[in-house]
Amino acid sequence: MNETSPAESAPDVQAGAGGHRRSHAAGRRRRRRGGGWLDYVVTLLVALLIAILVKTFLVQPFFIPSTSMVPTLETDDKILVSKLTPGVFDLHRGDVVVFQDPGSWIPDEPGRTDGARYKVTKVLSYIGLAPDPAEDHLVKRLIGLPGDHVVCPEVGGKLQVNGTTIDEPYINPDTPACQWAFDVTVPAGSVWVMGDNRFASADSAYHDSRGEEAFVPESDITGKAFVVMWPVSHWNVLDAGEDAFTNVPDPS
């Protein structure tokens, strides 16, 4: 009977060990692949959570639907709005603010909530990539704070706040500052807002001229716009407004 020596059998033992190592390695790769998909899902969920938290408490994007803020903001510009103002930071005269419709400032449009664009925007709003299309928002410049005395002495004249005439470099240079004559004192808890394109803006002055509610409750303010983020050619930091009101005294 022929016997196999230990030396002759060794290759078979080594081959078997190699097979076990390959099997274990393949198992580890399968586990890594399975763990990889789980990692992707967890990462996506964390990213969505962060986006929702950012939208809720910090920053929200909006787009400009009209010409009421030309030349500061053009139609279809995309802006970023800080939700820390008002709240953590105070509002100031000259701020560009976004606010919810304080009361029929935006007319109802049949079919506004229909169509693919509305549905896509609605989905994007949940993760902070777009404003909620079901909520009507407007963007204007804050002119008067609570207690301020805001006056336009005549159509075509210059705006006055607390007795100080304001030089407004941000308004449409082709039109004057006052599209209506008015004399108002801003009530507590509200603000007075106007568009930079004064003769194409349904703002506080416009609604006051129609005998309608002209003030915006501070509680309706979503936040302060601080940058135009898109298109790149319009990129701009929105910080020019406050300087126009530097010499305005506090209300007496």
User: Cβ(25)–Cβ(18) under 8 Å?
Assistant: no
Q: How far apart are CA 102 and CA 217, in angstroms?
A: 7
What is the helix, strand, coil percentage profile of the chain, to 5?
35, 20, 45
Q: Any idea how long the chain is?
A: 252
**């009361």: which residue's tokens?**
103
User: Cβ(162)–Cβ(174) under 8 Å?
Assistant: no
User: Cβ(222)–Cβ(83) under 8 Å?
Assistant: yes
Two structure tokens written together for 35? 């763990």
Catalytic residue status for 140: yes
Neighbour count for residue 21 (Cβ, 10 Å): 10
Q: Which one of 140, 190, 204, 224 is the catalytic residue? A: 140
Neighbour count for residue 248 (Cβ, 10 Å): 19
Q: Which one of 68, 125, 201, 204 is the catalytic residue? A: 68
Catalytic residue status for 158: no
Which positions are catalytic?
Answer: 68, 140
